[in-house]
Structure formats: C-alpha cells, structure tokens
Amino acid sequence: ASEPIWTVHVEVRLASKARRRLDTVQDLVRDFITSSFERLSLPSVLGGWEVDQTLASSVERIAVSESSCPSTSLSLNEISLQIHTYQPSENDTVEEYANGSGDGGEGGLAASVSELPCRSWEGLWEGLIYADNIKLKLLDYIYATIILSDANVDFNLVSWNRVVLLHGPPGTGKTSLCRALAQKLSIRLSHRYTQARLLEINSHSLFSRWFSESGKLVQRLFNSIMEMVEDEDCFVVVLIDEVESLTAARAAAMAGTEPSDGLRVVNALLTQLDKLKHRRNVLVMSTSNLAKAIDSAFVDRADIIQYVDNPPREAIYEILRSSLCEFVLKGIVQEVSVPPLEDVLATEKHGWHSGTRLSEEIIDPSHAQKDKIGKALLGLADKCREQSLSGRALRRLPVLALARYIGTGVGASSIPTSLSPTRLSSKSALQ
Ligand code: ADP
C-alpha cells in the first residue's frame, strides 16, 4: 500500500517591495524546498532560502503550517505541497462606522473594515494555543464549505448558513481566533480571491442605546457588505462580536422599555444575514461570552457552534513557554532553554531523576537546568489551571512577574545592560 499523501500548506510572505510574478516565486519556493529538505517539521519556519537572489529580494518569511496529520514531521514523498504567497497590507483599518449618539460617543465604534491579510495580525494564529486542535478543526470546516460552494452543490440538498459561533468565558481568545481565521483564509484563498476584507461589527455598540440610529447603521453596514460581496474576487468575512447583545435588544423591546425599534433592528440584522448565505464569498463569524443569552434565532443560523474554554494545563504550559521564549529572544531574561511540553511530561512520567536523566546530566549539565525550568513552568501551569486563568490573564502574567521582580530591587541591575538604557530605562518606566 502506498503512503498516504498529506497536503502541507506553505505560506510565503512577500516583501512589500516584491515585484516578481507570483507563480515565479511559488516555483522557486517549491524548488528550494524539494532540493533542500528530506523532511519537513510541522509547523516550522524555514531558513536558508536567502542564498537565492530572487527569493532574497522578494520573500520575507517562509512558514510551513501545522497539518491534521498526527506526526509533527513528514518526509517529502508523503507530502503534497500547496504554496501560498501573500503580501500583507500595512494599514489596519480602511473604514469605520460610528454609532452616532452625539453625546460623547456613547454608542462607540460600531464597525470597522480591514484589508486582509494585514501586517498587524501576523503571528496571531500561532500565538493562540488550544488543546484539542480547535484551530485546525475550524479551518478545515470552513474550507469544506468553501469547496462545496465552489462545486456549486445544490443548496436544496446540502445547505448551510455560512455562520460560525464561538462561545465561552471571556478572555479565551474568541475574537482573536476569528481574526486569525480570517487572516488564514485570506492567505489560503489568495489564489482564488485577489482581495479579502474583514468587517467587524461590535454588537454591543451597535445595540447600546440608540435603536433608531442603529436601524440606519445596520442598513448602511449591510449595504456596504453587499457592495463588497458583489465583487466576486473579494472574500468577505463579517465578524459579529458579543452577539448576546442582540438578545438584550430584543428583550428590551419585548419589555416595552424601548419601543419596537429594538426588535426591528434585530430582525433587520437577521434578515440581512439570511441574504448573505447565498453568496459564496462570504463567511460570518460571531462570538459570545454568554451562550445561554444568545438570541435563539441567531443560534439556529449557526452551522458551527464551538465552545472555547479556558486553557487546560498543557495549553497553559505552551502559552507560558512562548512568552518566556519571547523574553529570552528579546534579551529581557538571560538565555535559558525552555523544554517543549513533551519532554517535560516524559520526564514527569519517568521520574524527574531517573537513571538516564542523571547520566545525561553528567554529560551535559544544561540538561539539569532545562529539567528544572520545565518542572517549575509545569508547576506554575498547574497553579494557573487551579485558578481557571483565561488566556488573556496568562498573556499578562509575564508582565506582572517582571514588574514584581523589578520591584524587589534586584531586578533592575540584573536586566541585561544592553536593554537598560532604552527599553527598560528606569524602574518607573514600567510602573
Ligand atoms: P475573547 O474574545 O474570548 O474575550 P480575546 O480574543 O479578546 O478573547 O483574547 C484576548 C487576548 O488573550 C488574545 O489576544 C491573546 O493574546 C490572549 N489569549 C486568549 N486566549 C488565548 C489562548 N488560548 N492562547 C493564547 N493566547 C490567548
């Protein structure tokens, strides 16, 4: 039996000044990979391409993506390479919609449009760490619906609404995950869609108070979505954040505190969403912190309802590890090697100081240090788990730790001198 062939996506970020033909660059990247590697690690960032003049002048980064294949490394003859080139846009927001309340901007920014892929969301995907492959599952699912619409599958036989709902406790990365997915899709679909845009609707601002204003705004928003969608070369992602606000608006309408305006706005939004389901170049993503409170009419429309929880021990370890590695990379803490989770778990399982470990330590004392760091970080991960810390709280933890360290007085002097004058100029700068 022949080996299964896995599709491996390679994402090539082009330099902003790159003017080469895309297919030329793709061919060069393919040649480079096939001639330089026997195996690829998934995921990984490739190096060594700089020696090729053309690649050096047109490419910034070549990254091999993770895949649903169970092993983390594949031999090239088990791989079918899909090479995607993209040039991230430099500007974040291209258009904004405010909910015109007039008095001090109570309504806030109700929506904004960004060009994708954009530079500020580079690395967002990699930085989000979940336990059970949620990211890939979602990506595969969305990919599947895109294949179906591409194949012109009869909507009477197989149908879906192009709506994804992520719900779970606050700070678990739901909004970021939607943005990261949108960015990923814009890269992976770049051969089909020359443009991609993300329209973010903040339902909380949209439904905050001024329902009569909101009604007009919903209309305006969906008019612009329709305009974007008319262009079949443009892939449009609509992100509806805090979708539970819809329910609040409906409830207020029912209770009679807000005349039927509120209800009209919610209904208008749902009707507009229904119109989008026939457009193949659209995806609607939504988030909520309170699944129970989401309008049932909205939940009914979601094809995927994914619960996103606070990270478990393993994911916490990886989140903390990636923060610590960044500290090392930027010279904030002294150079140490932080072991990957598998190593720590293996050591934990076989006892921290089994015979083999001890002999390794004699050969290489850095092993002992690595073990110690791994063990300490895993202990910390356990503590964070006990307190059910969210991903957001975990990403903040290193800042608090550094601040406390500096606060003890020993910190300032042990921070590398190369950093102290500029980035960590004084104790007060951080406080
Ligand atoms: P939510 O929409 O669920 O409230 P956000 O998307 O606003 O959460 O998350 C805020 C930040 O918290 C993210 O940008 C990220 O830095 C961090 N974060 C949250 N969850 C995770 C996670 N699972 N892995 C890594 N970082 C996370």
From 285, 320, 388, 392, the mutation candidate for ligand 1 (largest count of ligand atoms within 8 A of CB) is 392
Ligand 1, atom 12, residue with closest C-alpha: 392
pLDDT for 323 beyond 60: yes
Residue 64: both structure tokens together: 């091999």
Q: Is the ipTM of this complex over 0.85?
A: yes
Which stretch of 95-99, 182-186, 404-408 has the lowest confidence by average pLDDT? 95-99
Residue 288, ligand 1, Cβ within 6 A = no
Greater pLDDT, 244 or 32: 32
Instruction: Please give the distance, rounded to the nearest whole angstrom, from the Cα atom of residue 299 to the centre of ligand 1.
Output: 23
Per-residue pLDDT, 87: 92
What's the average model confidence in pLDDT over 1-7? 77
What strands lie across the sheet with 163-167, from one edge to the other? Answer: 95-98, 109-116, 195-202, 234-241, 282-288, 163-167, 304-307
Instruction: Check residue 145 and give its pLDDT.
Output: 82
Taking 90 as the threshold, does the pLDDT of residue 155 lie above it?
no
For the Cβ of 202 lying below 6 angstroms from any atom of ligand 1, the answer is: no
For residue 391, report the distance from its CA to the centre of ligand 1, in Å.
Answer: 5
On the question of pLDDT at 127 being above 90, the answer is: yes
Q: Tell me how far the alpha carbon of residue 66 lies from the centroid of ligand 1, in angstroms.
A: 20
> Do 238 and 274 meet the contact criterion of CB atoms below 8 Å apart?
no
Residue 102's pLDDT band, with cuts at 50, 70 and 90, is very low
Determine whether the shortest distance from the Cβ of 105 to ligand 1 is under 6 A. no
Residue 116 backbone dihedrals phi, psi, to 5 degrees: -120, 155
pLDDT band at 431 (very low <50, low <70, confident <90, very high): very low
Supply the pLDDT for residue 415.
Answer: 56
The encoded tokens of residue 120 equal: 């500020």
How far, in Å, from the CA of 23 to the mean position of ligand 1?
Answer: 36
pLDDT computed for residue 181 by the predictor: 95
Please report the atom of ligand 1 found closest to the CA of residue 322: 25
| For range 399-427, the mean pLDDT | 61
| Highest mean predicted confidence (pLDDT) among 205-219, 348-362, 406-420 | 205-219
**Which residue did the predictor score with more confidence, 312 or 261?**
312
The per-residue pLDDT for 55 is 93
Pairing of strands 44-46, 59-64: antiparallel
CA distances from 393 to 180, 325, 333 (A): 19, 18, 21
Distance CA 83, CA 17 (A): 20
Mean of pLDDT values over 120-148: 89
Is there an atom of ligand 1 within 6 Å of 392 CB?
yes
| Sign of the torsion angle spanned by Cα atoms 269, 271, 273, 279 | negative
User: What does the pLDDT average to over 279-289?
Assistant: 92
CB 263 within 8 A of CB 251: no
Q: Is the CB of 311 under 6 A from ligand 1?
A: yes
Confirm or reject: Cβ of 171 under 6 Å from ligand 1: yes
For residue 43, the CA-to-ligand 1 centroid distance in Å is 21
* The pLDDT value given to residue 239: 96
Q: And the tokens for 108? A: 């806030």
Asked if residue 388 has pLDDT above 80, the reply is yes
**What are the Cα distances from residue 88, in Å, to 12, 18, 102, 122, 187?**
11, 12, 35, 8, 9
The rounded Å distance from CA 365 to ligand 1 centre is 37
Atom 4 of ligand 1 has which residue's CA nearest to it?
171
- Whose C-alpha lies nearest to ligand 1, atom 27? 391
Instruction: Return d(Cα 320, Cα 327) in angstroms, integer.
Output: 11
Give the residue among 14, 285, 243 at the shortest CA–CA distance from 139. Answer: 285
- The answer, yes or no, to whether any atom of ligand 1 lies below 6 A from the CB of 398, is no
CA distance 276 to 281: 9
pLDDT confidence bin for 320, thresholds 50/70/90: very high
Say what the pLDDT of residue 364 is: 66
User: What is the arithmetic mean of pLDDT over 147-157?
Assistant: 81
Give the residue-averaged pLDDT of 305-317.
Answer: 95
Q: Give the model's pLDDT for residue 423.
A: 40
199: its two tokens: 């329209």
pLDDT value of position 104 = 43
Q: Does residue 30 contact residue 49 with C-beta atoms inside 8 Å? A: no
pLDDT one-digit tens code per residue, 63-72: 999 887 888 8
Q: Which residue reads 């957001």 in tokens?
A: 392
Question: Of how many residues is the chain composed?
Answer: 431
Which residue, judged by its Cα, is nearest atom 13 of ligand 1? 173
Residues 332-369 pLDDT 10s: 888 888 898 888 888 877 765 544 554 555 556 677 88
- For residue 106, pLDDT over 90 is answered with no
CA distance 291 to 402: 36
Residue carrying the six token digits 């895949």:
67
Residue bearing tokens 């008095």: 103
Instruction: Tell me how far apart the alpha carbons of residues 376 and 374 are, in angstroms, rounded to a whole number.
Output: 6
Q: How much is the pLDDT for 428?
A: 36
Quick one: residue 351, left, alpha or beta (phi over 0 = left, psi -120 to 50 = alpha)? left
Tell me the CB-side half-sphere exposure of residue 303, using CA atoms within 13 A.
17
Determine which helix (DSSP H) or strand (DSSP E) holds 109, and give its type and residue range. strand 109-116
CA of 129 to the centre of ligand 1 (A): 9
Confidence of residue 216 (pLDDT cuts 50, 70, 90): confident
Q: Provide the pLDDT confidence category of residue 103 given band limits of 50, 70 and 90.
A: very low
Q: Give me the residue label for tokens 């036989």.
A: 157
Residue appearing with tokens 């258009």: 95
Q: Return the best residue to mutate from 172, 313, 389 for the ligand 1 pocket (most ligand atoms within 8 A of CB).
A: 172
How confident is the model over 131-156, as a mean pLDDT? 85
SS3 260: coil
30-65 confidence digits (pLDDT tens): 999 999 999 999 999 999 999 999 999 999 999 999
Average pLDDT of 292-315? 89
139-164: burial string, b at 16+ Cβ within 10 Å, e else: beebeebbeebeeeeeeeeeebbbbb
Residue 257 and residue 255: Cα distance in Å, rounded? 6
pLDDT at 366 (0 to 100): 73
Q: Is 50 exposed, middle or buried (0-12, 13-18, 19+ CB in 10 A)?
A: exposed
Taking the CA of residue 166 as reference, the ligand 1 atom at the shortest distance is: 3
Mean of per-residue pLDDT scores for the chain:
84
Question: Which pLDDT belongs to residue 143?
Answer: 82
Binding site membership of 310 for ligand 1 (Cβ less than 6 Å): no
**pLDDT at 265 exceeding the cut of 50:** yes
Instruction: For residues 198 and 282, give the distance between their C-alpha atoms in angstroms, rounded to a whole number.
Output: 10
Q: What percent of the chain has pLDDT over 70?
A: 85
Task: Name the closest-CA residue to atom 14, ligand 1.
Answer: 176
182 CB within 6 A, ligand 1: no
One-letter amino acid at 293 equals: A
How does residue 420 score in pLDDT terms, banded at 50, 70 and 90? very low
**Residue 12 pLDDT > 90, yes or no?**
yes
